[in-house]
Amino acid sequence: MRGIATKITGVVPLFMLFIAGAISAFEDIEKLRIWPLPAEVSHGGRRMYLSQDFKLVTEGSKYKDPSGILKEGFDRMLGVVRLSHVISGDRNSSGSGGSALLQGLHVIISSFTDELEYGADESYKLVVASREKPSYAQLEAKNVYGALHGLQTFSQLCHFSMKKKVIEILMTPWNITDQPRFSYRGLLIDTSRHYLPLPVVKNVIDSMTYAKLNVLHWHIVDSQSFPLEIPSYPKLWNGAYSSSQKYTFEDAAEIVNYARRRGIHVLAEIDVPGHALSWGKGYPSLWPSKNCQEPLDVSSDFTFKVIDGILSDFSKIFKFKFVHLGGDEVNTTCWSTTPRIAQWLKKHRKSEAEAYEYFVLRAQKIALSHGYEIINWEETFNNFGGKLSPKTVVHNWLGTGVVEKVTASGLRCIVSNQDKWYLDHIDSPWQNFYSNEPLANIKDQKQQSLVLGGEVCMWGENIDASDIEQTIWPRAAAAAERLWTPYAKLAKNPDKVTTRLAHFRCLLNQRGVAAAPLVGGGRVVPFEPGSCLAQ
């Protein structure tokens, strides 16, 4: 293929291309070894090398990198490309009189701001090497976060040559134009069922960037524990497992900032009124009674004052436009069996179901008062969808048919159906994650636009710091391509991308991410000695 450019755009062609023999266009795509697959790619057959002092150049860029986000991203990119290898080849030797030596990357960003805004343009264009400056690659983006995506793609074009002991890029010139299919590409982590130390959370965030995921859904608290400090109601922290298994308010701010500098939003969740037993460890009056501790007391104004305090504190650090208020799996029996709450129900002429609706809608109003739009689990829609705030995003997890109903009603939706995108279902293979289509059975374009994207969920009942990475990866990467790559370029048969995904899984391992083998479900072990690429 040396010297011959192939272009892959739009629908995957079915005819055969005659390049060094007949190979199909899809086979050519799979030779690219880029994950997730970009929207448009063309390449040649030339080899180039990175200079030992490969540098970042921003001449002509409107973005001045006031807080160092671009420079940090560039340095991280070089770090994962070099993989701690000693670059000992002749820094000026390219084997072709220097003409194939890349001196640096020229980044041009057209926006002045580095504010991370949901729905902003994440596109980029990458050329290796630039026609104007043949010794430089060129990366163009609307904003710095699109440029970070471009840096991730550039890193996958590079590899360390064991023979020459230099970083090389094969199949140049590269021309890549790329943007995500969906604006919401999420991963949920659960720090209530098992506490996750800060370095583990940060490692998860770093690994998300490699697959271009952009929302960390932080399921912070649940029935089992309340690990986060809430300054307005400090005794909530009493619900933590222990004094060492806690996050300070400053810790949470650090997680948000760490993610933001990598282009990742942090979605905070408090799951009310159910999944909140731990709240009462510090404030027992939040329980219906000492012997019936869940859901939160619907009859008490104090309950809603606490929610207001939490969301007020959240608004100081969690700057994502959405907050998740849960609302799932609410067993209201304690309300009717606790005499004082039963009396309140009678006085207000509410059934248990109507009290559940009242609670969710009152919590929504509190969130709105703090400037948030709301995400709720699908039970809220299934029970009283017509009453939800128009600013609600419904989070599908239970079954099929919900997304169509939600979008037909005019509400937005996020897809996380448990049969395909729950990572704690370790018997579910990566092929299920790849094949799950958020727009399945939705033909109307307006309804399609209301599907913001999807999220894979790493529920924490059976994972902790020791095994979270290999339970997430590589299956989350399969979903990441579904959410990033244009529909027409996705493989109809996921097995067709096995080689490319295996390469990405090995790349994750090389970068220090404990991604499990592809063969089998989640968290599997290698079945025999052999190459990483064969597992």
Residues labelled catalytic: 329
Selection from 528, 519, 502 nearest residue 35 by Cα: 502
Cβ-Cβ contacts under 8 Å for 163 (sequence gap 6 or more) = none
Burial category of 142 from C-beta neighbours within 10 Å (exposed 0-12, middle 13-18, buried 19 and up) = middle
- How many other C-beta atoms are found inside a 10 Å radius of the C-beta of residue 39? 20
What Å distances lie between residue 40 and 12, 247, 254, 376, 461, CA to CA? 11, 42, 36, 35, 40
Question: Measured between alpha carbons, how far is 328 from 221 in angstroms, rounded to an integer?
Answer: 14
Helices within 33-160 (DSSP H only): 69-82, 144-157
Let me know: does 39 contact 19? Beta carbons within 8 Å.
Answer: no
Question: Measured between alpha carbons, how far is 154 from 125 in angstroms, rounded to an integer?
Answer: 11
Helix or strand or coil: residue 73? Answer: helix
Burial category of 499 from C-beta neighbours within 10 Å (exposed 0-12, middle 13-18, buried 19 and up) = middle
3-state secondary structure 9-31: CCCCCCCEEECCCEEEHHHHHHC
Question: Measured between alpha carbons, how far is 48 from 237 in angstroms, rounded to an integer?
Answer: 55
Single-letter amino acid, residue 119: G
What Å distances lie between residue 390 and 64, 212, 374, 411, 477, CA to CA? 38, 29, 9, 7, 32
Tokens of 27: 């086979």
Question: Measured between alpha carbons, how far is 72 from 65 in angstroms, rounded to an integer?
Answer: 10
Helix (H) or strand (E) holding 198: helix 198-210
What Å distances lie between residue 55 and 107, 208, 461, 462, CA to CA? 11, 25, 45, 44
Pairing outcome for strands 174-178 and 124-128? antiparallel
Helices within 68-132 (DSSP H only): 69-82
Pairing outcome for strands 40-43 and 6-8? antiparallel
